[in-house]
Structure 1
Amino acid sequence: MLIDSHCHLDFEALSADLDGVFARAAAAGVVGMVTISTRVENFSTYAGLAERYANVWCSVGTHPHNAHEELHVTTDELVRLSAHPRCVAIGEAGLDYFYDNAPREAQATGLRRHIAAARVTSLPLVIHSRQADDDMAKILEEESGQGAFPFVLHCFTAGMDLAQRALALGGYISFSGIVTFKNAQEIQDVARIVPADRYLVETDAPYLAPIPHRGQSNEPSFVRHTAQKLAEIRGISLEQIGTESTANFGRLFSKTGLK
């Protein structure tokens, strides 16, 4: 049993064939998925998907690429929308210094507002961090000093330092198909040392399809390949990866009611 903790079912590559996506996911042993918000203005779309399908939940938040376009979204608004019964997380929010599609100041402002919402609601913050390790670690440590909040570094692509600092704060780390890539040694090293009660699996579909589907459109069923690679890296069975990652998901995304 596996959970895809991060996908984007509203993106056309998936939304055009949802029946097929769900059928293939079920056949691969994927029993649930979270469709992740990239724009608060589209929350009704994410919530609609979660209302329509029993094994789908959603989040509310602004991707760092769009941070400058949603600076009007307050922490109070995030908290209000997150009260929806099928909304189980805040985000994704964070820092992306690879593309720099939004000014870095706007990204940081948005991230801190989302952190505040996670702190108030006790819902996990889904964090996007790319080539921003130092600033991300500093913000997480600074904000944690003002009050703890649950979080996951999704689609982990950073180095060991950020991983260890995030884990020290009680954070979780989620691995995507990138961990299957041949040039992903540093990420594989992190995957080897993350405690058994602190990791998740995801696709980030429709992006980042794992080997053997690299280059194709990704989908939730492919999370099985990521789980299989983690099993190989950690020297345990695929079944144990499923058991541990699903338990971790239920603990972090507690609003789902999964155990």
Structure 2
Amino acid sequence: MSKRDRKRELPPVPEALPAPAVDAHTHLDACGAKTPDEVRAMVDRAQGAGVGRVVTVADDIASAEWAVEASTWDDRVFAAVALHPTRTKDFDDADRQVLERLVEHPRVVAVGETGLDYYWDYSPPEPQQEAFRWHIDLAKRAGKPLMIHDREAHQDILRILAEEGAPETVVFHCFSGDAEFARSCVDAGYVLSFAGTATFRNANAKPLREAAQLVPLDQFVVETDAPFLTPHPFRGRPNEPYCVNYTLQDLAELRGMTLEELVVATTATAERVFRFDQA
């Protein structure tokens, strides 16, 4: 097999974890699962690796509609709905009405992903911040966690949360800060979700790995953000929810814990945050 073909190949499905895990943030539709059978097959692969539940997350209005529908196809799938910050340039009242309707669905366990993204220039900061404030209010009105996308916008994220008053539960999806920023988030009571980026071995990942060591377990969850950010040692290859298994293995070693201890702890935090039993 050529190097190019290997890059297109999914990583092997690892041996099942010692306890059931949760993928706290994935995009099943972007992974290629469009139909009920495809969703079940993808979640079956995750189940085989010990990942028993997934939260599939929207980034636009069409994917929000799809995520809610997909969450009714399989009891292991839950949904989060919002408009991604990079898409907020043309956020209008019609979009708001759709999200207000969808967030009331019992299978929707979070408002997300929302926040700020200053890396891309698809949407200027002003409409991003306005949309972020609206999503904060929506999460509070719905009584559901706020799932944050934060890319190169740490201080503005914290400032706006403080100005608006954060919802009871805030999750920093794919946490990307260093130890100092992690402490600020932990002190504020926020939950930090770590993806495959926390397993990378390049110099840029060192501050993130330091952050992953200090977060209390009751504020710590794991995710894939699939199909992106495939964990080490498969970085660059396609990602699926079962690959959260690899992230858990790596982070358990990093934190000096047994794999079972970390899986049990992160699952308990995910269950408390997303209240799966009420969905």
Band of TM-score, shorter chain: over 0.9
Q: 1:41 to 1:150 in 2, by over 3 A?
A: same
The structure having more radius of gyration, on CA atoms, is 2
- 1:106 is displaced (CA, Å) by 0.9
Equivalent residue number for residue 67 of structure 1: 88
**Secondary structure of 1:51 counterpart:** coil
CA contact 2:31–2:240 (8 Å) conserved in 1: no
Tell me by how many angstroms 1:77 deviates: 5.2
Residue 177 of structure 2 corresponds to 158
Corresponding residue SS for 2:123: coil
Separation (CA, whole Å) in 2 of partners of 1:223 and 1:115: 28
Distance in 2 (CA, whole Å) between partners of 1:76 and 1:21 is 31
Farther off after superposition, 73-82 or 84-93: 73-82
CA offset digits 1:75-107 (Å, max 9, x no partner): 665343211111111010011111122111111
For structure 2, the 5+ residue unaligned runs are 1-19
Secondary structure of residue in 2 paired with 1:62:
coil
Superposed CA offset, 1:176-231 (max 9, x none): 00011012111111111101100000000000101122111100000011111110
Give unmatched runs, 5+ long, in structure 1. none
- Determine if contact 2:27/2:56 at 8 Å carries over to the other structure: yes
1:257 match? 277
- Shift of residue 169, structure 1, vs aligned partner: 1.9
Mapped partners of 2:120, 2:158: distance in 1: 19
Q: What residue identity is the alignment partner of 1:211?
A: H
Task: State the identity %.
Answer: 37
Instruction: Report the counterpart of residue 168 of structure 2 in structure 1.
Output: 149
- Cα distance in 2 for partners of 1:182, 1:225 equals 14
CA apart distance, 1:47: 1.1
The 2-side partners of 1:215 and 1:194 are apart by 27
Q: Is the 8 A contact 1:60 1:89 kept in 2?
A: yes
Name the SS for the 2:137 alignment partner. Answer: helix
**Matched residue of 2:147: which SS?**
strand
State the match for 1:170 in structure 2.
189
The CA RMSD measured in Å over matched residues stands at 1.8
Kept in 1: contact 2:146–2:167 (CA 8 A): no
Q: Distance in 2 between matches of 1:22 and 1:213?
A: 20
Distance 1:167 1:203, change over 3 A: same
CA distance in 2 between counterparts of 1:92 and 1:73 reads 18
Q: Distance in 2 between matches of 1:113 and 1:194?
A: 28
| Cα distance change on mapping 1:74 and 1:165 into 2, 3 Å | farther
Residue 201 (str. 1) matches residue 222 (str. 2): yes
Q: What CA distance in whole angstroms lies between the structure 1 residues aligned with 2:192 and 2:169?
A: 12
1:87 aligns with 2:108: yes
Q: TM-score, normalised by structure 2?
A: 0.86
The answer as to whether partners of 2:195 and 2:222 remain within 8 angstroms in 1 is: yes
Alpha-carbon separation, structure 2, partners of 1:35 and 1:88: 10
Aligned to 2:11: none
In the TM superposition, what are the counterparts of 1:131-150 in structure 2 within 5 Å?
131-144=152-165, 148-150=167-169
2:53 maps to which residue? 32
- Give the whole-Å Cα distance in 1 for the aligned partners of 2:167 and 2:39: 37
**Cα gap change, 1:213/1:169 in structure 2, threshold over 3 Å: closer, same or farther?**
same
Letter of the 2:124 counterpart: P
- Would you say 1:4 and 2:23 are equivalent positions? yes
SS at match of 1:31: strand
Question: How far, CA to CA, are the matches of 1:48 and 1:131 in structure 2?
Answer: 32
Show CA shifts across 1:126-145 (max 9, x none): 1000111111121122222x
Task: State whether structure 2 residue 194 is matched by structure 1 residue 179.
Answer: no
- Given that 2:31 and 2:239 are in contact with CA atoms closer than 8 Å, whether structure 1 keeps it comes out as no
Indicate conservation of the 8 Å contact 1:65/1:100, yes or no: yes
- When residues 212 and 18 of structure 1 are mapped into structure 2, their CA distance, relative to the original with a 3 A threshold, is farther
Tell whether the 8 Å contact from 2:111 to 2:135 is kept in structure 1 after alignment. Answer: yes
**Contact 1:130–1:158 under 8 Å retained in 2:** no
Provide Cα deviations, 1:118-173, integer angstroms capped at 9, x if missing partner.
112221111000111111121122222xx643110000112233322222221100
